Amino acid sequence: MEDKRLSITDERTGSTYKIPVADGALRSMDLRQIKTGPEDFGLMGYDPAFMNTASCRSSVTFIDGEKGILRYRGYPIEDLAEQCTFLEVAYLILTGELPTAQELEVWVGQVRHHTMLHETTKKFLEGFRYDAHPMGMFISTVAALSTIYPEARNVLDPASRRLQIQRLVGKVPTIAAYTYRHSLGYPYVYPDNELSYPENFMNMLWRMVEPRYQANPTLARALDILFILHADHEQNCSTNTMRAVGSSQADPYVSTAAAAAALSGPLHGGANEAVLKMLDEIGSKDRVPAYIERVKAGHVKLMGFGHRVYKNYDPRARIIKWTADRVFEVTGRSPKLEIALELERVALEDDYFIKRKLYPNVDFYSGIIYQAMGFKPEMFTVLFAIPRTVGWLAQWQEMLEDPEQKIARPRQIYTGHGKREFVPMEKRVAKVASAAR
Ligand code: ACO
């Protein structure tokens, strides 16, 4: 809807332009008409890291970063975390509506139908070194699914898309569990489709010689809540990658692998692993003030703090703190929690963090719970990738159905040389400092 127009006067030429504004945004393409002359390409927006550029219209997730609000398809995250299962929320995110009991039964059945991995995928996993990082194995194995389902390239076929979505949601816990078992040198455990989504995952992770794995219900519910909290988060780095790669009509397996690769970095989903390393480095509560001084001096970052969008407490961190209490009733309180609570207390009273509106994000407490549940820190980002696959797929689908979307291809401001005369080999003088040597 047009909100009125923005009047821009170009002081270079004295010309005035009326630019339509809709939904609080102008279209960057409308700036192109602003030129200094016929040779001028036209005005562009320059926005490294997309600080102020909307790349799409989306109806999946709403965030108000100032107020600390997160909603999936209009429903507050608090209600969903309290009252739904992860697969119920996955259905909501993917279809736009909460399922009826019958719709949920069908959906759960579809996901269960696709939990097995092809035996060649198992062999593929065996090729990784014993100490391979689980996230590297996860990314590569998800990409390798593309070789098993070549029909997934029909990305414009809605029926094919639905099938690949069911396959991916069904298989990512199996892949994640296999990466874990591989790193321990244990045999893989096949999925058990009589179990719920989190229980089946725990079964594939931790079952040893017992005939039936019994998941602790409190821990299974905590895992399900963590999955709900991580399911989508609008246009974050990995979702933007999913949309960018998917925009070339690459298949959903390689697109999801690319999104998972983006997630693996320590500034994004890799932060949960980095938080645990940081807490280990701090070691005890009394060393918190000294660490905060190092953060303020710019020597290190306070991992699990700060967010591009939230300038208030991340609502997911609040729910995770509540979930942590339930988990610790079963596992016993983690000594790392004391350090984390003290870090939060000191930081939230300190001007450096107050001025910059730096609050704990989703990753600050999640690692402590995961560790208490028995996961190694290297698995934390894989645990993030399982539910986020749902968000990536919902956003991928939305992108493909949006008639305004095309292959994602930003512009650049060229800063290199003008045209240069070619220099034959015998006349070249070494100028490159290190890269090529
Ligand atoms: N510790 C210390 N200072 C910080 C932190 C932090 N964690 N985060 C931001 N700042 C400071 C910056 O140094 C900067 O200060 P300045 O204005 O004096 O230069 C100011 O706060 C603004 O920070 P930016 O880096 O401009 O914020 P940006 O939006 O680009 O970055 C990010 C967001 C990447 C999440 C950042 O806060 C960060 O690196 N946090 C730690 C890593 C982390 O926890 N990532 C997980 C995010 S949630 C997720 O992806 C699931």
Largest CA distance in the chain: 81
Query: Which atom belonging to ligand 1 lies closest to the Cα atom of 309?
Result: 29
The answer, yes or no, to whether residue 2 has pLDDT greater than 80, is no
Residue 331 burial by CB count (10 A; 0-12/13-18/19+): exposed, middle or buried? Answer: middle
pLDDT digits (tens, 9 = 90+) for 328-380: 999 998 889 999 999 999 999 999 999 999 999 988 999 899 999 999 999 99
- Sheet containing strand 75-76, edge to edge, reads 61-64, 69-72, 75-76
The answer, yes or no, to whether residue 116 has pLDDT greater than 70, is yes
pLDDT digits (tens, 9 = 90+) for 229-241: 999 999 999 999 9
Determine which of 52-66, 196-210, 321-335 has the lowest per-residue pLDDT on average. 321-335
The answer, yes or no, to whether residue 435 has pLDDT greater than 70, is no
**What are the chain's domains?**
74-265+385-401 (1.10.580.10), 271-373 (1.10.230.10)
pLDDT above 90 coverage of the chain, percent? 92
The DSSP-derived string for 84-138 is --HHHHHHHHHHSSPPPHHHHHHHHHHHHHT----HHHHHHHHTS-TT--HHHHH
Provide the residue count of the chain.
437
187: DSSP letter: P
The answer, yes or no, to whether residue 433 has pLDDT greater than 80, is no
The answer, yes or no, to whether residue 40 has pLDDT greater than 80, is yes
The residue whose C-alpha atom lies closest to atom 47 belonging to ligand 1 is 268
Burial 61-75 (b: 16+ CB within 10 A, else e): bebeeeebebbbbeb
Q: Which protein residues touch ligand 1 with a CB less than 6 Å away?
A: 236, 267-269, 271, 295, 301-308, 356, 358, 361-363
Residues with Cβ < 8 Å from 288, sequence gap 6 or more? Answer: 282, 339, 342, 343, 346
The answer, yes or no, to whether residue 437 has pLDDT greater than 70, is no
The residue whose C-alpha atom lies closest to atom 10 belonging to ligand 1 is 306
Tokens representing 290?
């000294």
Average confidence (pLDDT) over 225-250? 98
pLDDT digits (tens, 9 = 90+) for 184-198: 999 999 999 999 999
What angle is formed at CA 310 by the lines to CA 380 and CA 225, rounded to 5 degrees? 40
H/E element, 317:
helix 315-331
Tokens representing 416?
């290199």
Q: Across all residues in the chain, what is the average pLDDT?
A: 95
Determine which of 10-19, 42-51, 164-173, 309-318 has the lowest per-residue pLDDT on average. 309-318
Which pLDDT does position 202 carry in this prediction? 97
Which pLDDT does position 313 carry in this prediction? 87
With tokens 């696709």, the residue in question is 114
Which pLDDT does position 434 carry in this prediction? 66
Catalytic-labelled residue, pool 114, 133, 230, 307: 307
The answer, yes or no, to whether residue 163 has pLDDT greater than 70, is yes
Distance CA 249, CA 155 (A): 6
Which pLDDT does position 335 carry in this prediction? 87
Distance CA 204, CA 198 (A): 10
| Distance in angstroms between the alpha carbons of the first and the last residue of the chain | 56
The residue whose C-alpha atom lies closest to atom 29 belonging to ligand 1 is 308
Average confidence (pLDDT) over 294-312? 94
Which pLDDT does position 387 carry in this prediction? 98
Which pLDDT does position 334 carry in this prediction? 86
Ligand 1 mean position, distance from CA 138 (Å): 27
Query: Which atom belonging to ligand 1 lies closest to the Cα atom of 237?
Result: 50
H/E element, 400:
helix 380-401
Cβ atoms 144, 125 nearer than 8 A: no
The answer, yes or no, to whether residue 113 has pLDDT greater than 70, is yes
Which pLDDT does position 265 carry in this prediction? 95
Tokens representing 98?
């909460």
Distance CA 276, CA 280 (A): 6
Q: Regarding predicted confidence, which is higher, 314 or 390?
A: 390
Catalytic-labelled residue, pool 230, 363, 402, 417: 363
**pLDDT category of residue 436 using cuts at 50, 70 and 90:** low
Mutate to test the pocket of ligand 1, among 300, 307, 320 (most ligand atoms within 8 A of CB): 307
Strands (E), 24-60: 25-26
Average confidence (pLDDT) over 52-72? 97
Which pLDDT does position 196 carry in this prediction? 97
pLDDT digits (tens, 9 = 90+) for 309-325: 999 889 999 999 899 99
Angle between helices 380-401 and 158-184 (to 10 degrees): 170
Distance CA 292, CA 287 (A): 9
| Active site annotation includes 363 | yes
Average confidence (pLDDT) over 156-178? 98
Burial 277-304 (b: 16+ CB within 10 A, else e): ebbeebeebeebeebbeebeeeeebbbb
| Active site annotation includes 182 | no
The residue whose C-alpha atom lies closest to atom 41 belonging to ligand 1 is 303
